[in-house]
Amino acid sequence: MSGITHLVDQMQLPRFVRVKQFFPHNELTEEQIKSLIADTFAREDVKAKIKPGHRICITCGSRGLSNIVLITREIVDQVKALGAEPFLIPAMGSHGGATDEGQKSILAGYGITEETMGCPILSSMETVVIGHTQGMDVNLDKNASQADGIIVLNRIKAHTGFKGKYESGLMKMMTIGLGKQKGAYIAHAAGDDAMPDRLFAIGSEMIAKANIILGIGLLENAFDKTYKIAALLPEEIPVEEPKLLDEAKAAMGKIFLDACDVLILQKIGKNYSGGGMDPNVVGRSRLPIGIKSERMGIFGLSEESHGNATGMGRADVGTMRFFHQISFDDTYPNAVTDHDSSVYKIPLIVDNERECIQTSMAICLNMDVKNPRIIILKNSLEIEDILISEALIPEAKTKEQLTIVGEPFYLEFDADGNMVTQL
């Protein structure tokens, strides 16, 4: 029992219903992915850049991208088939505690190792300055700088903290990923509003000065599944990426309800979003995006996040289990690199998951206590199946993308107060 149990225990949890959100299934099969990558490396303009004996660097980011093991291995195999010698580098700014081993460990957590990829993984935080733009040094991973060519691989999607012509994608991978912690720190120095322009400036300088030979942009649907692979020559990246970003935004998932009193996330983590939770889905942002909620609670942190609790500052309440999962050594380097502390602050910590919901309800200002509007999600990525309280049923029935499954029921909790009801 925590010190506030007696203050929030009177909050009566409502009944819930299961809701299925509809999004189109248009993901590529493994065979289609292999074929598209093979077609890319069969192009004469690509083969002309990869010669026998060339050392080719391939970027690997810190996100849990769909099919990332398959896609990366296929790229490695295609480079080998052309007689070149591929190697991978972790390209992830300050993630992994901004250390060589920490970043390599993140890749291993996704199944990307030297054994599974069949090539070396060279992890270093050392960079070289290859150019300057708008008064900024342009940093490049030292190992990448020594390669005969660099293949930039990343997902193109809406960013969680800023909006513009360039958000998450190939320009960001060149700026933040290839720039490592030093490059990321410089890019973030003017705040989020300046990021799109800085991604363009630094990314363009990287294209001009580094030996970028190919960009491979991945687009994912609302189920976080690869549905498109775009292979771009270096000069095409600044021109084509904004179009691909618009397409990716149209395909992304969302909560089709307008607002709620309490939003609960069972897990947050860097594998779900760079911000731990995607504001494009869950809101809680300075930008007018995502669902509106008065309070937010989080139950836990994903194993894949390796203790990085970036995003916890968006929540109001967390569990003691969540608190003990936090690695400050892996979380705070992101805050320094981002020049921001807001999303790294610790929410109220309570004993268990039931108390997390009750406390979130208790600190609401305008909630109808007898009819609270509550939504429970697995995380900000897996949002096809959600739970909503009875008070939201009338609105849900007006949304053609939503289907109510079954009858209302009460949540079940174990003896420790943790939820056993499955989404």
Pairing of strands 149-155, 55-60: parallel
E strands, 245-336, in order: 259-268, 292-301, 317-319
What mean pLDDT do residues 383-391 have?
Answer: 97
Contacts of 354 (CB under 8 A, 6+ apart): 13, 411, 413, 417, 418, 419
CA 5 to CA 266: how far, in whole Å? 20
pLDDT of amino acid 266 = 98
> Taking 90 as the threshold, does the pLDDT of residue 210 lie above it?
yes
46: phi then psi, degrees, rounded to nearest 5: -85, -45
How many C-beta atoms lie closer than 10 Å to residue 193's C-beta? 12
* Residue 170, SS3 per DSSP: helix
pLDDT of amino acid 173 = 96
CA-to-CA dists, residue 6 to 9, 10, 299, 362, angstroms: 5, 8, 20, 12
CA 284 to CA 314: how far, in whole Å? 6
> Taking 90 as the threshold, does the pLDDT of residue 97 lie above it?
no
What mean pLDDT do residues 154-171 have?
Answer: 92
Residue type at position 7: L
| Nearest partner of 298 among 413, 366, 408, 376, judged by Cα | 376
> Taking 90 as the threshold, does the pLDDT of residue 20 lie above it?
yes
| Nearest partner of 310 among 332, 294, 289, 284, judged by Cα | 332
CA 210 to CA 111: how far, in whole Å? 28
Mean pLDDT computed over every residue of the chain: 95
> Taking 80 as the threshold, does the pLDDT of residue 347 lie above it?
yes
Partners of 292 in beta bridges: 259
CA 299 to CA 128: how far, in whole Å? 41
CA torsion 360→363→364→369, rounded to 10°?
Answer: 80
What mean pLDDT do residues 399-418 have?
Answer: 97
pLDDT of amino acid 270 = 87
CA 84 to CA 23: how far, in whole Å? 41
> Taking 90 as the threshold, does the pLDDT of residue 211 lie above it?
yes
How many C-beta atoms lie closer than 10 Å to residue 342's C-beta? 10
Structural domains of the chain in order of their starting residue, each with its CATH number? 5-23+254-409 (no CATH), 30-251 (3.40.50.11440)
Cβ contacts of 233-238, under 8 Å, gap ≥ 24:
233/45, 233/46, 234/207, 235/207, 237/152, 237/170, 237/171, 237/203, 237/207, 237/212, 238/171, 238/200, 238/203, 238/204, 238/207
pLDDT of amino acid 7 = 94
CA 29 to CA 410: how far, in whole Å? 39
> Taking 90 as the threshold, does the pLDDT of residue 32 lie above it?
yes
Torsion sign across C-alpha atoms 61, 66, 67, 71: negative
Tens digits of residue pLDDT in 33-45:
999 999 999 999 9
Tens digits of residue pLDDT in 134-145:
999 999 999 999
CA angle 17, 20, 26 (to 5 degrees): 170
Q: Answer for the pair 82, 49: CB distance below 8 angstroms, yes or no.
A: no
Find the length of the chain: 423
Torsion sign across C-alpha atoms 240, 166, 274, 179: positive
Tens digits of residue pLDDT in 361-375:
999 998 999 999 999
Tens digits of residue pLDDT in 267-321:
999 888 888 999 989 998 887 889 999 999 999 999 989 999 999 999 999 999 9
